[in-house]
Structure 1
């Protein structure tokens, strides 16, 4: 667990088999070198063909990624909102891709690409922009073990001007770079602590070992040789820096929009090793609190969670329109005011479920983004300000 041991690991981004997620990156705990752009470019007549590691920036919206769906995001040195002038140039994860652009008419451009799928790069525990709470270990990333590193994304966009209006449409087939998360077996063999832990260890070892692996426990037999081995097949790991009380469990779950009650029952229901370790589903919040606090006492104070990330293909469609206003008074606030409207529709997008179940949530999603932009000088003695008005 490279990111969970020793001093803070700011930059290494690896799959669960230890390979670098970004193929053109050299990273350590406190540095990384990345070839963000490494391309071979060919231009002839109305055609532009580009092959290599690159960003593919579509759409006009500032901050919001409604059309800008070709690349994932690197959140190690930023979070989601950055300086508007930069947009996402310093945050997109480059991908190895073949991109072809054609100037079909004086007013129409067709832009298409096919590229190697590259996921979002998330921050490690205890780093400045950490999204997943540090009470969890770093997510076990299935990018390589799920063969997602061999998957391709592809898409096409048409952009045209008609009068004072700009129009665009896109269709993309991709793996969602954020992915979706679920409970995961920790693989970490650690036993319990203290008098309660010793009593549980004794009670566990007193049961004969099962023949095969039954799915209904506790029972008259045990599934593994020790309680530590049993816990290694659950999403929970004994160790400092995790959750210390039932209140922290529920408040921490709420802070990242999880359902603490259902997440507990889901872990017990979907991982037989938890039932093998004397846990059983609860029906009230009081029962959940008592069960959790028994866990924490038996663990010596703290338990850390384990989740894993998977990726799912989706089809993304978009329409956009833009315009620049003109007024008779060039000093008017509304002169040269830029308006962009972008709409994205994704059928059956896969989301993380509120209980971290292996049965992911699927739902159609619409994203509608309206953005107004304006360079405006309040007075001749004050520099111009770049103003952005936006709603999503």
Structure 2
């Protein structure tokens, strides 16, 4: 069997269920109680069993962990527009103009019929094709809009174990369980964690996932140390970057966005996001100044949130096929770096040969044999195009098509042309045609097919191209006057170069965009004591510049898709840049910690995240923080797509 054709379909491929309204804080079901209890008990028991066995073998052993309740309470009535329950066209009758004609009146319809030598109508009626071929032509989404109070309501448990076997050998194991209580108001039986990547639904080889929980081993390693040599073997996260919000040198691993997208406290620097992988990592301390390090690690892709989930980033009218299982599941990344500390001067050089974990996206054949209602027998041809008939949750109008193209930084007109040209002769047999540069022709053609079908779902695929990343950084520790701001101020510059990088084309065409990419960051950080009465505060100021793609790199979208509106095509931009300022100030007793993070996109939007942590003792911690997003809808902001996510986050942690 050709494994390339045996992918498991995304949940958005499956039939839509009746609306499921779970409310924003209803009573916990018995199944939920058993589920979260099982995760907590399983994680703790597994740690306890290891804790009983390993000391019996004569090893030094330690175990620690925590149980945490996490929630994010919405601050606005905006819903995620990527989900069908947040689609701004829900419940709206959008007039269609098939063939570019106004058929909203009896006279308009009869003029068309007369030109075709067909008899006139005495009134406008609704034909027998469901929501297809209605008169007057209308694209209506009969989908309920949700109202949520929460973006997140989940329980996490982690158990960390370490064993010192002898003077040279040691081992570490982390068991992580995460349960989502599914208190959200949505329109489907939502799958929060299962992926298309492998049997068991896990996002990595050492993960098991079902729709409402996941259990994994983010760390499962054996370490060997012998003088200047250090070797780590097993499932591990490789973190080379220290930037807040940004990733320049941090290229070995992808990110797992399923749990809370990017909205944990930014000061934690993606600590919970990096995707672990099986591999070997080794370093050698040449002398007191120079160190070399290298790794080989199984490729694991970035994991995006699933359809209908609160932080979904792919509009529900499109089915995303991840081409990992059978395509990229046996690939390996390799890389190395050289580090030096020459007095106050630090140097670092990296080279990584990898497959882009974020992937690039393009149209793909739907494989769905379903006729256009007015063209019996057209299903075979439709299966060879990137579209399937979906009268429930497909795109209903050219207005909706262009609104979403602008939202996710695509070119609506050239996206249509790519879908037509790249899937000939099937698209031609259905009378689809290339409209050139004419937005008016594109809108007429789109409305024609939405009218004939009653709604179309698009199919796209994510593939993971090979690339080489080269980078260097330099940092310097300033010796200022004691007590001055320059004392122990650290300045750092990071630069990476990716030759001939592959980017998602804003047309979603088969021909990707190739371009050399430069990423640059300038960082200043310092521990500074404002007063003898307070401990030192941590401060960090950062600037980032990238060409080719935006600062977050979701889907490696090319910047030529930026600068559009819902009524005008993108004009593109040459670069993206942003400034971030973050830090924290402990209280004199260390019981309280005041945190902040601000991200400002130059010519874009802003994210503001103030927070406070309370740690009354060594067991309990409460973290309260807010995320406010100001994303301008002018086609220039990478933050605009998550402008709905204003929220207050609360995390209550018990450590053991």
Give the TM-score normalised by the residue count of structure 1.
Answer: 0.86
2:402 corresponds to 1:250: yes
| 1:91 shift after superposition | 0.2
* Structure 1 stretches lacking a partner, 5+ long: 206-225
* Structure 2 stretches lacking a partner, 5+ long: 1-8, 15-187, 545-656
Q: Deviations over 1:312-362 (max 9, x none)?
A: 1111111001122232141x3333322221100010111111111111111
2:345 corresponds to 1:337: no
231-240 or 90-99, which deviates more: 231-240
Equivalent position SS for 1:266: helix
Q: Deviations over 1:252-301 (max 9, x none)?
A: 1122221110010110111122221221121321111111111111222x
Q: Which residue of 2 aligns with 1:231?
A: 382
Cα distance in structure 1, aligned partners of 2:528 and 2:221: 37
Query: Relative CO higher for 1 or 2, CA cutoff 8 Å, sep ≥ 6?
Result: 1
2:321 corresponds to 1:140: yes
Query: Matches of residues 1-392 of structure 1 in structure 2 within 5 Å?
Result: 1-4=9-12, 5=14, 6-15=188-197, 20-80=202-262, 82-137=264-319, 139-146=320-327, 148-192=328-372, 197-198=373-374, 201=375, 226-239=377-390, 240-272=392-424, 273-283=426-436, 284-300=438-454, 302-330=455-483, 332-379=484-531, 385-392=537-544
Equivalent position SS for 2:394: strand
| 1:379 shift after superposition | 4.8
Distance 1:85 1:37, change over 3 A: same
Query: Given that residues 242 and 269 in structure 2 are in contact (C-alpha distance below 8 angstroms), is that contact kept between their aligned partners in structure 1?
Result: no
Equivalent position SS for 2:450: helix
5-14 or 65-74, which deviates more: 5-14
Cα distance in structure 2, aligned partners of 1:385 and 1:163: 25
Cα distance in structure 1, aligned partners of 2:190 and 2:295: 37
Distance 1:94 1:246, change over 3 A: same
Equivalent position SS for 1:73: coil
Equivalent position SS for 1:358: coil
Equivalent position SS for 2:251: coil
165-174 or 14-23, which deviates more: 14-23
Query: Given that residues 478 and 488 in structure 2 are in contact (C-alpha distance below 8 angstroms), is that contact kept between their aligned partners in structure 1?
Result: yes
Query: Given that residues 58 and 69 in structure 1 are in contact (C-alpha distance below 8 angstroms), is that contact kept between their aligned partners in structure 2?
Result: yes
Cα distance in structure 2, aligned partners of 1:255 and 1:381: 49
| 1:388 shift after superposition | 2.4
| 1:132 shift after superposition | 2.0
Query: Given that residues 201 and 208 in structure 2 are in contact (C-alpha distance below 8 angstroms), is that contact kept between their aligned partners in structure 1?
Result: no
| 1:61 shift after superposition | 2.8
Q: Which residue of 1 aligns with 2:149?
A: none
Q: Which residue of 2 aligns with 1:215?
A: none
Q: Deviations over 1:91-125 (max 9, x none)?
A: 00001011111111111111100111111111112
Q: How much is the aligned-residue C-alpha RMSD, in angstroms? A: 2.0
Equivalent position SS for 1:234: coil
Give the TM-score normalised by the residue count of structure 2.
Answer: 0.52
Cα distance in structure 2, aligned partners of 1:329 and 1:381: 17
Query: Given that residues 125 and 134 in structure 1 are in contact (C-alpha distance below 8 angstroms), is that contact kept between their aligned partners in structure 2?
Result: yes
Query: Given that residues 196 and 325 in structure 2 are in contact (C-alpha distance below 8 angstroms), is that contact kept between their aligned partners in structure 1?
Result: no
Distance 1:241 1:388, change over 3 A: farther
Query: Given that residues 159 and 169 in structure 1 are in contact (C-alpha distance below 8 angstroms), is that contact kept between their aligned partners in structure 2?
Result: yes
| 1:247 shift after superposition | 1.6
Cα distance in structure 2, aligned partners of 1:383 and 1:63: 25
Query: Given that residues 98 and 115 in structure 1 are in contact (C-alpha distance below 8 angstroms), is that contact kept between their aligned partners in structure 2?
Result: yes
Cα distance in structure 2, aligned partners of 1:295 and 1:17: 37
Distance 1:163 1:49, change over 3 A: same
Query: Given that residues 76 and 123 in structure 1 are in contact (C-alpha distance below 8 angstroms), is that contact kept between their aligned partners in structure 2?
Result: yes
Cα distance in structure 2, aligned partners of 1:305 and 1:16: 24
| 1:382 shift after superposition | 6.4
Equivalent position SS for 2:195: coil
Cα distance in structure 2, aligned partners of 1:299 and 1:377: 66
Cα distance in structure 1, aligned partners of 2:533 and 2:445: 66
Query: Given that residues 261 and 305 in structure 2 are in contact (C-alpha distance below 8 angstroms), is that contact kept between their aligned partners in structure 1?
Result: no
Q: Deviations over 1:27-81 (max 9, x none)?
A: 1111111110011111111111111000111133333211111111111123346
Cα distance in structure 2, aligned partners of 1:327 and 1:188: 68
Count of residues in Structure 1 that have an aligned counterpart in Structure 2: 359
Query: Given that residues 337 and 350 in structure 2 are in contact (C-alpha distance below 8 angstroms), is that contact kept between their aligned partners in structure 1?
Result: yes
